[in-house]
Amino acid sequence: MRVRVATTILGITAVLLAVPACSTDTVGDPSDTTPSARPGKQADTTQQAALLSSAALETRLLNKSDLGRGYLRKPERPSQHDDVTVIGCPALSELGGDAATGGTLSFPRKAKADFTYGGSSSEVSEELYSDNPTKLSDGIGRIFDAMTGCPTYQVVVGGTPIDMASQKLIPPHKLGDEQWSQLLTFSTRERSTVVKQTAIRDGSLLLIVSGSPALVDRHLDKALDKATTTS
């Protein structure tokens, strides 16, 4: 099955267009108010914390001083409008092409930062979102379930085929209210890149850390601590 889409915001396409990269925008439908039936979910829309603005989220992102020596912040990448074809993943196709690639469904309150490390190809990206807990949970849960439900598939971006492999990982259960984690491998004729992505929902805040697996593991706790501070 093929789904042709035109990406309009940073998302998984950011990784596909510039391997190695590190961010996969996972998104939710702002109009969706239906409670999720996901087992074990603890989202409580009646007792949610106050939502944070994009400006407030920006102050809670990690910066170079938080990360330590050797990190440089990457400039914001302009929006992409490349045609994307997803092949061999019915679960992603069922979500709709834009949802599968981080296209049109997006949380309005968000902030993002990308960093390179040591002048190498190692990168780490942090994304923060704030919304109704159920919307956050449903949105990212659908995307993670779909992506990890397809062990292998292919994405064609602007005529360039990229072989994808996904692996569901055991998330850090002691962090936040809900957790998701996966390992993605992007392969072209030139090279392969492995990207780890871990998402933590804590109340009405969603944290996503993506990039080189070692860097994600190194900075996840620190990112959550800063993102959930109330000071």
Q: Where are the alpha helices (DSSP H) in 8-152?
A: 12-17, 54-59, 64-67, 90-95, 97-100, 133-148
Q: What is the dihedral of CA 210, 211, 217, 219, to 10 degrees?
A: -70
Mean pLDDT of 163-184: 92
**Would you say residue 163 has pLDDT above 60?**
yes
Under the banding of pLDDT at 50, 70 and 90, the label for residue 173 is confident
- Count Cβ atoms below 10 Å from residue 111 Cβ, excluding itself: 20
pLDDT in the model for residue 46: 38
Segment holding 227, helix H or strand E: helix 213-227
- Residue bearing tokens 């809900």: 178
Looking at per-residue confidence, does 14 or 136 come out higher? 136
d(CA 85, CA 227): 35
pLDDT in the model for residue 49: 59
**Would you say residue 222 has pLDDT above 90?**
yes
Express each pLDDT in 53-85 by its tens digit. Answer: 999 999 999 999 999 999 999 887 665 555 777
- Count Cβ atoms below 10 Å from residue 91 Cβ, excluding itself: 16
**Would you say residue 178 has pLDDT above 70?**
yes
For domain 2-30+44-85+97-227, the CATH class is alpha beta
Express each pLDDT in 93-148 by its tens digit. Answer: 776 544 444 433 468 899 999 999 987 779 999 999 999 999 999 989 988 888 88
Q: What is the dihedral of CA 127, 95, 193, 123, to 10 degrees?
A: -10
**Would you say residue 34 has pLDDT above 80?**
no
- Count Cβ atoms below 10 Å from residue 16 Cβ, excluding itself: 24
For the chain, what are the domain ranges? 2-30+44-85+97-227
